[in-house]
Every structure is written in structure tokens, then in C-alpha cells.
A and B are shown apart, each in its own frame.
Chain A
Amino acid sequence: MRWISLATTIAFAVALGAPAAHAQQTANLSVSVKNHRFQPAELHAPANVPIVITIKNLDSTQMEFESTTLRVEKVIGGNGQAAVRIRPLAPGRYEFYDDFNQQADGVLVVR
């Protein structure tokens, strides 16, 4: 019975602790889009940790945050915001753009 209690305690500790540890290791980034331009146009993140990019669309028209190398796309309504989760990345430059308005370009630099 004691073993079951111990196992349950450990399971709860792991279950509660894992997200906290995960959250500490996640790089949270933010970028805005205004007048069909990314601000800032260059983001930085450490290598080998999960990344969350929050995109705020300050224009009144829809945009689509897209990147072939990051392998994400997200349609964001006018004056809306959304987040994309990205796997841990190796060092390098990963370009992104607004697929609805090809003038908007940005880059995520991972070091």
C-alpha cells in the first residue's frame, strides 16, 4: 500500500513538475505586423529549446504567418493575435513571411 502511495506521489510530482520545467526552457518571442511589415524583422532564440512566437497583427486585414523551414503557418485575423509553437532548432537562420502579403519578411536567428 505504501508503494502505491509513493508511486502516486511520484507520478503527481512528475506530472506537475514536467510542465514547469518545460516552461522554463521555452523561448517566448513576440513579433508585430503593422503596415504589412514585421516589427522587429529579426528575432533571436537560443538553440535546442522549444520556441513560442506570438504574432500580433496590428493591421486590419488578415495575414498568414508562414515559414517553410520552421514548418509552420497560421492565419491571423485583422487586429488579432496568435501563437505558433516550434520544435527545438539547430543554430541557423530561419526565414518567415506573410503569405497573404509577400512584402512582409522576417528572420529567426537561432544561436
Chain B
Amino acid sequence: MIGRWKSGAAISAALLVAVCSGTASGHEAEQAGGRGGVFRDVETENIFGFTEGASIGVEGEKEVSLTTEARLGKSAGRYFGSESKLGFEYTPNQFVQIEFGPFFSAHNISGVPDIDDRRQLGIGGFFGEIKTILLERSGNSPLALALSAEPNWRRLDETSGERVNNVELELKLQGDVELVAKRLFFGFNLLYEPEATHDPERVGGGWVQESKAGISGALSYQIMPGVLVGAEAWYLRHYDGAWLNEFTGDAVYVGPTIFVHLARQVHLSASWNTQVTGRDMEDPDAKLNLAEFSRHRAKVKLAVEF
């Protein structure tokens, strides 16, 4: 099992190195990135990994993206679950950005306690997002703030892949600070995510409500025009009840991030988070919380603007 994770981590590291070295080949890469060798102002939305920056697109901009968020590893057995969002994003004015689309779920699970074995791929549900600028960076304020609301409807459970009826609302306060002009950025998020799940046959006890809260911090450094590397940390808490009613456990994740402008209107971002500590209220001896959170999680986004 450990060998498999090491292989996975090695492959991920190799991919990141390949992306970096591919882009680090100097002038050609700068031309490919469309930056002309010049450090420009940075759109911070996608440079911090799971942490989202406060910027939005330029007015009238449209974007199509594929964003995959994967969760890997539980306390035993083999666990892989992912959701891939096919998003259409539009910025109608200089204050608001909207995005919506379907997402696809993939699960490969065997021998995990309390979760049925499953290998499946299917349409997981639909999502929407609206994001609005609260405070923009200016000569008076190095801080930028935005608020986003992302409703999700799922027909396949995010963790187990079971057929369900699930609604979730992800609310995020997104902030970032330009620490060194055009080079070094600090980002942070505050998360509140209530959700309710019902089995489709309605044989259960009704809607089961739960919620998640979290805070993150991330640094991202532009090492060359259009290429930013960094690291982020997340602290997540899980509760029974939609209003953070009963604390059931928490987890701390840390990991690297990368953002690359592949072409003038194409960018790729990736991040890998590993759980380094966690608490499970039902298992006080556990050093990690692998009941409610995964051992690792990864995010890859490829976006094309037009």
C-alpha cells in the first residue's frame, strides 16, 4: 500500500518536474505562455491550488475548463474517488463571475472499512458558482477579497459513489495579498459548506445533514513569466448537522501547487495535498482522520479562455 502511494507521489512529482522543465526552457516557453518575457499582473484565482484567489476574469471573458478533484487513500484497502467538472465560466461585468456545468464521478474502492467495493464512472451531478468582488487591490489596499457561492447537486455520493440525492452549498471568502509586486502572493480562504443527503429510495431516516468548515493559507511565487509555484495548507473540520452542530473530526492538509500559462489563453494548474494530522472523535487514538477525509487529495485544472 505504502509502495503504491510512493509510486503515485513519484509519478506526480515527475509530472510537476516535467511541466516545470518543459516551461523552464527559456524563451520558447515565454513565447508559448504568451507573456513575452514580461512579468504582468497576475490573475490570482487559480494560482494557490485548492485555495482560490480573489480575482475574477476580465469583462466579457468566457472560459471552458476541466477541473478534476481526486481523493486517495483511507485507513485500509484501496480508495480512489474523483469528480471532474466541465465548467463554462463567464464574466458579464467587472464585478461578478459565474460558472456552471456538469461533473463526472469516478470511484475505485476495495477493502475500505464501512464503504462498499465499487468500480464505476458516471455523471455525478451539476454545479453552479457565482463569485463577486468585495474589495479590490489598489494603491490603498494590497488586499483583495471576493465571496463565492457554489451550489452542487449530486446523484452519486462524493465519498462512496452510492446512488444518492445530495445538495451542497460551498461558501467561500477568498482573499489574497500581493507581497512582492507581480512575484509573490499570499492567499487564504474561509470555507463553510453545509450539505444534505437522502438515499433515492427514501428508505432511510430522511435527509442526513452535515457541514464542513475550513481555513487555508497559501504562498505562490512567479518564478518566470506565467509560471507560479507554491505551497498551501488547509485546516478542515467536519460536523454532523448543517449548522456546524456536532463536531466529529478534523484534518490538516499541506502540499505543493503549480500554475502554468501554456499558451496565451490556456492555463494549467495542479496541486497535491497530504493529510499530516487529524482527529476522529470516534477513534481518539487515530493520528489521522481517514473516516471523513482522505489521506491525499489532488486538483488539476485545464482552462481555455475565449
Q: A95 with B40: in contact, given A71-B56, A87-B95, A102-B35 (CB under 8 Å)? A: yes
Nearest-Cβ distance from residue B161 to partner chain A, whole angstroms? 40
Q: Is B36 an interface residue (CB 8 A)?
A: yes
A92 touches B139 (CB 8 A): yes
Instruction: Give CA–CA (A72, B61) in the complex, Å.
Output: 9
Interface size on A, residues (CB 8 A): 22
Q: Is A97 an interface residue (CB 8 A)?
A: yes
Nearest-Cβ distance from residue A26 to partner chain B, whole angstroms? 15
Q: Is B141 an interface residue (CB 8 A)?
A: yes
Instruction: Give CA–CA (A93, B182) in the complex, Å.
Output: 13
B140 touches A91 (CB 8 A): yes
A68 touches B140 (CB 8 A): no
B61 touches A73 (CB 8 A): yes
From A89, A97, A99, contact of B264 by CB (8 A): A99
Contact with B along A70-111 (1 / 0, CB 8 A): 111100000000000011011111010101001101000010
Q: Is B22 an interface residue (CB 8 A)?
A: no
Instruction: Give CA–CA (A8, B118) in the complex, Å.
Output: 68
Contact with A along B132-161 (1 / 0, CB 8 A): 000011111100000000000000000000
A73 touches B36 (CB 8 A): no
Which residue from chain B places its CB closest to the CB of A100 in the assembled complex?
B264
Which residue from chain A places its CB closest to the CB of B136 in the assembled complex?
A90
Q: Is B34 an interface residue (CB 8 A)?
A: yes
B36 touches A103 (CB 8 A): yes
Interface residues of B in 42-84 (CB under 8 A from A): 42-43, 55-61
Cβ contacts under 8 Å, B180 to chain A = none
Contact with A along B148-192 (1 / 0, CB 8 A): 000000000000000000000000000000000000000000000
Q: A68 with B58: in contact, given A87-B94, A99-B264, A102-B38 (CB under 8 Å)? A: yes
Nearest-Cβ distance from residue A110 to partner chain B, whole angstroms? 7
Cβ contacts under 8 Å, A87 to chain B = 94-95
B58 touches A71 (CB 8 A): yes
Q: How many residue pairs at the A-B interface have CB separations less than 8 Å? A: 59
Q: Is B41 an interface residue (CB 8 A)?
A: yes
Instruction: Give CA–CA (A71, B138) in the complex, Å.
Output: 13
Cβ contacts under 8 Å, B139 to chain A = 90-93, 110
From A72, A93, A102, A105, contact of B59 by CB (8 A): A72
Instruction: Give CA–CA (A12, B139) in the complex, Å.
Output: 40
Cβ contacts under 8 Å, B38 to chain A = 97, 102, 105
Instruction: Give CA–CA (A105, B137) in the complex, Å.
Output: 20
Cβ contacts under 8 Å, B137 to chain A = 69, 92
Cβ contacts under 8 Å, A103 to chain B = 36
Instruction: Give CA–CA (A107, B136) in the complex, Å.
Output: 17
Which residue from chain A places its CB closest to the CB of B30 in the assembled complex?
A102
B138 touches A92 (CB 8 A): yes
Instruction: List 11 additional A-B contacts (Cβ < 8 Å) besides A67-B41, A70-B58, A99-B34.
Output: A67-B58, A68-B42, A68-B43, A68-B58, A71-B57, A72-B94, A73-B59, A90-B139, A91-B140, A92-B139, A93-B139
Please list the residues of chain A having a beta carbon within 8 angstroms of any beta carbon in chain B.
Answer: 66-73, 86-87, 89-93, 95, 97, 99, 102-103, 105, 110
Please list the residues of chain B having a beta carbon within 8 angstroms of any beta carbon in chain A.
Answer: 34-38, 40-43, 55-61, 91, 94-95, 136-141, 264
Q: Which 4 A-B pairs have the closest CB atoms?
A: A102-B36, A92-B139, A90-B138, A92-B138
